[in-house]
Amino acid sequence: MLRYLNQSSRGRAAWLLLALTALALELVALWFQHVMGLKPCVMCIYERCALFGVMGAGIVGAIAPKTPLRWAGLLIWIYSAWEGLRLSYEHTMIQLHPNPFTTCDFAARFPAWLPLDKWLPSVFVASGDCAERGWSFLTLSMPQWMMVIFAAYLIVALLALIAQPFKPKRRELFSR
């Protein structure tokens, strides 16, 4: 399996699949927001940013998968998945244990050099309450599902990182 992951990480298809899964999840989030009318909270917006990081890692890795740029893609992937897992866990704890002293911010705080809420307000402006459970599927709320998704991304990323020293076997047509 590790040899397969190593071989896959050296091709564009796996990296593009990573980017496409993150893009699909972003589109689902926008559908929840704009079609179903669910208002994203600040934690949701931060989780979206982590998902955009996973998508960016897929794009970086797909640019030149046989070069050291693959390592940058792996690091971005691991960092984004870890941050997404951390944020979705924190969001889940806010929902499961509501406390008037532990709340999320009213607006997302982006750096001055990257004001995403000003550039794309329909994607990055928060208007919901972090403690509100507006949607659930199979008894899990949205941040709980995001924990599952980010954990899966992180596990696959760590396995891909561990697989890097395992070179694929050369298969010869006629063995001696």
Q: Which of 70, 104, 109, 133 is catalytic?
A: 104
Q: Is residue 149 part of a domain?
A: no
Q: Is residue 71 part of a domain?
A: yes
| 130 a catalytic residue | yes
Say what the pLDDT of residue 11 is: 73
Buried/exposed 13-25: b ≥16 CB within 10 Å, e otherwise: ebbeebbebbbeb
Q: Which of 3, 10, 12, 41 is catalytic?
A: 41
User: How buried is residue 175: exposed, middle or buried, by Cβ count under 10 Å (0-12/13-18/19+)?
Assistant: exposed
Q: Which of 44, 70, 170, 176 is catalytic?
A: 44
Q: Is residue 14 part of a domain?
A: yes
Say what the pLDDT of residue 64 is: 80
- Entry field: residues in the chain: 176
Q: Is residue 76 part of a domain?
A: yes
Q: Which of 70, 130, 170, 171 is catalytic?
A: 130
Over residues 80-128, the pLDDT tens digits come to: 999 999 999 988 888 887 777 666 777 777 778 877 777 877 777 777 6
Say what the pLDDT of residue 171 is: 58
Q: Is residue 33 part of a domain?
A: yes
Strand, coil or helix: what is 136?
A: strand
| 48 a catalytic residue | yes
Instruction: With cut-offs at 50, 70 and 90, classify the pLDDT of residue 66.
Output: confident
| Residue 78 pLDDT greater than 90, yes or no | yes
| 49 a catalytic residue | no
Q: 9: domain CATH number?
A: 1.20.1550.10
Over residues 6-25, the pLDDT tens digits come to: 666 677 788 899 999 999 99
How many structural domains is the chain composed of? 1
Say what the pLDDT of residue 13 is: 82
| Residue 173 pLDDT greater than 70, yes or no | no
> What is the rounded CA–CA span in Å between residue 176 and residue 173?
10
Q: Which domain holds residue 44?
A: 1-99
Say what the pLDDT of residue 87 is: 92
Say what the pLDDT of residue 4 is: 63
Q: Is residue 22 part of a domain?
A: yes
Give the residue among 9, 5, 21, 121 at the shortest CA–CA distance from 65.
Answer: 9
Q: Is residue 150 part of a domain?
A: no
Over residues 143-167, the pLDDT tens digits come to: 888 999 999 999 988 888 877 776 7
Q: Full-prediction pTM beyond 0.95? A: no
Q: Which of 3, 12, 48, 109 is catalytic?
A: 48
Q: Is residue 142 part of a domain?
A: no
